[in-house]
Chains A and B, each alone.
Chain A
Amino acid sequence: MSSSIFNRHLDRRTLIKGAAALGTFQATSPFIIQARGETPIRMGMVDPLTGVYAAPAGNEVMGAKLAVEQMNAKGGILGRQVELLVEDSANDVGTGVQKARKLIERDQVNFMIGDVNSGIAAAIAQVTAEKKILHIVSGGHTDSITGKDCKWNVFRVCNTTRMEANSVSNVLFTKYGKKWHFITPDYAFGHTLYEACTDDLKKLGGTVTGNELTPLGTTDFSAYLIKARAANPDVLILLVQGSDMINCLKQVVQFGLNKQIHVAGTQQELESLAGLPPEARVGIWMFEWYWKQPGVAGVEKFVADIRKVNNGKVPTARHWFGYTSAMSFALIANAQKTTEAVKLAAALENFELPDDVKLQPNKVYYRKGDHQLMTSAFVGEAQSKGKDDPEDLFQVDEVVAGDKTAPPVSETGCTVRWPS
């Protein structure tokens, strides 16, 4: 009998090498959404379509696609059709940068959108600045992007971490108490959000009982929660996001910690609340955009349009980020009648978004000085079940204007340097 059907030599080194490969290998799956047109305008979009942020990234892409469809139906940009080219950053900085370079150098994109992950967004901004491509950061929140590392070509739609903290700190302090304990994701976004929250807390006269830095992609939070509980805080502040938020909040509620300590945080997303069982939808948070805004112009139509392409589900803040990012390019390029990046960047300063794009009550504009969109914070409380709609999982108590939550430009550390 031949011995070939039996096991070949497998040594321990092979197993360990294989295990190492699992830890380092990154998957990539590019795809392109084509539109008609002879010489189309190209928008590049880099977002983590795989990994822990796959859900928010997918929604940003869906929002951007809707915007491109709508602008093409109205004649595109400068009479040319628009193509959206989407690349997966796989939630990895190196991959994200490589994909951004590919979009710029090979595909010759005119504009760039991305990324959900702050670290990748900041790294891509280096590339777009070097290549003089107008870039809108759709969903990476860390302060430095429109702070000390700001660039003439980079604008941002989502809030800064400082804006998120400022919108909700006061409410948490007044309603829940003055001793806060943090569960913080251990990367750029988490670090700046933690700093912003603790600065606010100190100003209000409160104390920090501790900070648990958790690696991105943590599955079991019990060890951190044991430490947090031992510190006996008034409020447990969860700064983690995505599937980390779901895992953490689910465990907090199963441990009954929400009955002993208040559980809350800053940024909360519909993607996370929808992924939680009803009993775990608790706490005061801020949303960056919410789909239920009775009487606000354009919102109902936007919700209906997204439902058509999203299996009947409502848009989240991420859909709006993608939509607004893409629409901003079209609005400013058509107004200025050019695609020249420096001119468009200058024109975007203090550019106010129209009603059918801003989709919220307050004035919304890209602030001159740091290029941060002054967008509102929707402060309120998670609801275990929607009253009229199963996806109405958040009760908005207050919509705070962006220029009330954002620190003045002089405090952001941003000095925009224009190319000579």
Chain B
Amino acid sequence: MTQLLLFNVTNGLIIGAFYVLMALGLSLILNLSNVINFAHGGFLVIGGYIAYTITPYIGFWGALLLAPPLTAIIGLIVERVLIRPLYGRDPLYSLLLTFGLAFMIEDGTRFIWGPQGKPVTIPPFLAQPLSNDLFFITGYRLFMVAVVMIAVALLFVLLRYTRLGVRIRAGTLDLETVAALGINVQMLRSLNFAVGIFLAGLSGVLAAGQLGLEPTMGTGLLMPSFIAIIVGGIGSLPGTLAGGLLIGVASGLTAVFLPAASEAVIYVLMAVVLLLRPRGLFGEEGMMT
């Protein structure tokens, strides 16, 4: 039993790491632009399909490098054309827009690539488990965790030490003052959106290697990512990181005792956190109210 628990905690951390990658992108966009991006799962799917399409020409590693920036470019266009006109309005406008956009992306991918799932093969040396006992730790899953760690580290370096990062953080706290200091806020939002969508694209490439690549793939992954943000605390990137890992572990542990509740438990966790600490685990009081 102890072994089973230990296995599931480790497994939960691996799954949580993936949620973190999704949730960080969502969180970036939400924090600076107040856009609840329901189309984030759609961008994940776009990333996956772009990788699937270019893999025959440039291989898995080439696709891993190229698909996320291509997805980010699509994100930039969407931001410029659809989302920017809504910045001054109530957040519900952009929420509804991205909600509709999510369906359009799902049907669009179905139209272009067909409703049937696409087979994605990963390099054979990654598709092996470490050992017979620790079968759930495959090379690919470790690789995923490594990519997430690198992405998170780079993101923190970007936000802490670069001019763009400092401006994004400053804008999150007080966008009006940032604009008054002569910084191009529109450009800042665009770049920030692109970074968020880049992370969605990267999640898409990674997910396609492990899950079936099909147009609805993003839907099931989006909800846990939202919950990770709410549990971790809106406005706090370390909170998002903790939230993602926490719901991964909670979901894994519940699967041992009460499998039927393994999906519901993340909602219960969210409810409990909201009741006891409405700002989320790491959220600052008054951050988003």
Contact = CB atoms under 8 A, between A and B. Distances in A.
A279 B33 contact: no
Interface stretch (B124-132, B147-155, B157-165): B124-132
A8 B91 contact: yes
B227 A226 contact: no
Interface string A3-35: 111111111101110110111010101000000
Interface in A66-112: none
B166 interface: no
A15 B263 CA distance: 20
Interface string B244-257: 00000001100110
Nearest to A51: B216
B254 to A, nearest CB: 8
B220 A257 contact: no
B211 A219 contact: yes
B171 to A, nearest CB: 9
Interface string A199-230: 00000000000001111011110111111011
Contacts of B234: 12, 15
A52 interface: yes
A312 interface: no
A331 interface: no
A272 B213 CA distance: 11
B59 interface: no
Given A7-B33, A8-B90, A250-B212, A230 B110 contact: no
B53 interface: no
Contacts of A4: 88
Interface residues of A, number: 65
A223 B115 contact: no
B116 A275 contact: yes
B238 interface: no
A12 B278 contact: yes
Contacts of B115: 54-55, 58
Contacts of B256: 223, 227
A277 B119 contact: yes
Instruction: From A14, A224, A272, name the one whose CB has the most chain B CB atoms within 10 angstroms.
Output: A14
B221 to A, nearest CB: 6
Nearest to A251: B210
A21 B103 CA distance: 14
A233 to B, nearest CB: 14
A9 B138 CA distance: 45
Contact of A222 (B91, B106, B136, B176): B136
Interface residues of B, number: 76
A254 B135 CA distance: 9
A50 interface: yes
Interface string A268-300: 000110111111000000000000000000000
B90 to A, nearest CB: 5
Interface string B81-125: 000000111111001000100010011001000111111110000
Nearest to B176: A6
B252 A223 contact: yes
A9 B231 CA distance: 20
A338 interface: no
A55 B289 CA distance: 43
Interface string A47-61: 000111011001000
Given A22-B222, A254-B210, A255-B136, A52 B216 contact: yes
B136 A19 contact: no
A72 B210 CA distance: 45
Given A14-B91, A22-B38, A275-B117, A223 B288 contact: no
Contact of B135 (A29, A243, A255): A255
A50 B99 contact: no
A255 B138 contact: yes
Contacts of A11: 288-289
Interface stretch (B7-15, B61-69, B70-78, B191-199): B7-15
A387 B15 CA distance: 37
Instruction: From B15, B103, B259, name the one whose CB has the most chain A CB atoms within 10 angstroms.
Output: B259
Given A213-B259, A275-B116, A8 B221 contact: no
Instruction: From A217, A222, A224, name the one whose CB has the most chain B CB atoms within 10 angstroms.
Output: A222
Nearest to B172: A7
B269 interface: no
Given A5-B185, A11-B288, A226-B8, A274 B36 contact: no
A5 B87 contact: yes
A283 to B, nearest CB: 16
Instruction: From B4, B106, B212, B259, name the one whose CB has the most chain A CB atoms within 10 angstroms.
Output: B212
A382 to B, nearest CB: 13
Contact of A16 (B213, B230, B251, B289): B230
A246 B91 contact: no
Contacts of B34: 7-8, 10
A118 interface: no
Contacts of B38: 18, 22
B116 A224 contact: no
A75 B186 CA distance: 63
A122 B258 CA distance: 28
Nearest to B253: A223
A11 to B, nearest CB: 5
B259 A224 contact: yes
B65 to A, nearest CB: 21
A69 to B, nearest CB: 21
A300 B289 CA distance: 66
Contacts of A1: 176, 179-180
A382 B284 CA distance: 54
Nearest to A310: B114
7 contacts: A19-B226, A58-B115, A222-B136, A226-B136, A260-B132, A274-B116, A277-B119
Given A9-B91, A55-B117, A222-B15, 4 more contacts: A54-B115, A220-B211, A230-B4, A260-B132
The 10 closest A-B pairs by CB, nearest first: A275-B117, A246-B212, A223-B255, A4-B88, A7-B34, A54-B115, A277-B121, A10-B91, A55-B115, A55-B116
